[in-house]
Structure 1
Amino acid sequence: METQQLHRGRLIDHIQLVVRDLEASHAFYAAVLEVLDIPVIGTNADFFFADELVVSSADSPAALGVLTGRHHLAFQARDRAMVDACYQAAMAHGGRDNGAPGERAYHPGYYAAFVLDPDGNNIEFVFHGEAERSAPSVVIEF
Structure 2
Amino acid sequence: MAVPGAARVAVWVLAVVAGVVSAGLIVALVVNPDMADRTASVTGAVIGLAAFVLAVITLVRSPGTSGGGRRVRSGRGGIAAGGSITGNAVGDRSTVVAPPTRSAPAPAGGQDADVRAGRDGLAAGGDVTDNALGDDSERR
Higher CA-based Rg = 2
Name which structure has the greater RCO, CA cutoff 8 Å, separation 6+.
1
Provide the TM-score with structure 1 as the length reference. Answer: 0.20
**Greater percentage in helix:** 2
